[in-house]
Structure 1
């Protein structure tokens, strides 16, 4: 494993090894605090993988990535950043549980990776990492407060106001996807009929199979569905319109509670634009019964295809800015 020997005193994380991990994929990137991404590697996460197996996968992919960066004579990273799904105790860096890693209980992500890489490691919940990416590089740069919605692997929100994330002591904040919307329906990594079931990446694939079982194969790729919808396929557009409407229903309570300036929809929903966003905005407006001035604007992430890589870097980027005088 390529690694530096000992982190420099007062290191400002000029070179970051970023990790974006959930139950479906692992993305490893090499980048900098200004959001530059030099190299990236992505692989599927094995289904029902143990924590030990995932750590080994991370080390293998990091080794491959750093071999590429060393060939380009790029310096070794001086910090590791991790964006991870599940309920995270931020202070200890322990993942308490995760819907997409059902076997994980009290897994010491930060300490294990610190030992393996011999580098400082910063770990952040995936939706919070998305909010930080938007704050430093995207639509949140000029916003006083906003909500970021992660749709993959579950529907979860990161709440940011005046540059600070909202956290609770148990690491369970932001689980909007658990909101029940129907007695039955798609599940995704959640319960049938939940917001995660209707509006998460996996849930939208299930919704397509439920509504139009003869239109797509059982192994339909979500990105093909998105391409079809943007090309005018009425079946795909109807699926994403329903998902968007359910997302709008789920945002009503959030709107009353927080009154954010904007709600930013993350990847892959951002690829759909108005196909998903307009039904969400229209449903929120009708269901909330608020004046237009009181309604948050729902927008797709302008980072979109860059978002997952920037989520991987964002925990270290945030720490870098927090340490600046």
Structure 2
């Protein structure tokens, strides 16, 4: 027979969230970034601003969280010693427990897009916009991506989207271009799930190391570390043991020198030498980079002849 009896009004209880039992099977999942934002919001507020629903299972003595598992877990991670929750003390058949759990997850209102945008636009602070937890899909900030060409209906995938302020965009594009240009010529449109996890781990490590909460700032830290190790990208085209290239094509100069820029005085000296080599017909006008080969070869020949190195200033 169906249990159609009305529930007695739950009572409000305050206690240690660590005493609560989380569900072993929970249909509702929260993406990593949203969970981290939830923890950050709770740390900022110092309390939960929405209340979990807990069932007091007198038979087992457990306090089972029927709804609000992620909020409870986030409160624990945020270090809250006490939280408030709504507690049902009467017996609940398994069927009704599941129905309560699923209804809390499934029955929710929908946002009016026009009103949502109007309210969101009123938030002037980037921090408060981040606090809302609204993603790019909800705000329709990015164009829709057509993934039908993947050709696999049951492909398990996760999208990763990066947004940069104008001042950061050029540096980010340069870093990604340098990394991409060292790889082989084939294009890879789908990354493995383990790479997605590595990105999340990298962002989390950067955040923890510098005590920052913003993902874009954390990515900036990763890019700064990448910039300091540009020379290591030479492994994509050079075999240090044999001194020979490992592939055809071209490579970015950053991977040769390990930096993107040199002092203007040094650049002027190099430019004079390159221009002279072109003028003397030693280096083709359309291939000025061959001046590096000429200079390197000249250096090698001098060492082979046993000539002393010129004194350094």
TM-score (norm 1): 0.22
Bigger share in helix = 2
**If you compute each CA radius of gyration, which structure gives the higher value, 1 or 2?**
2
TM-score (norm 2): 0.23
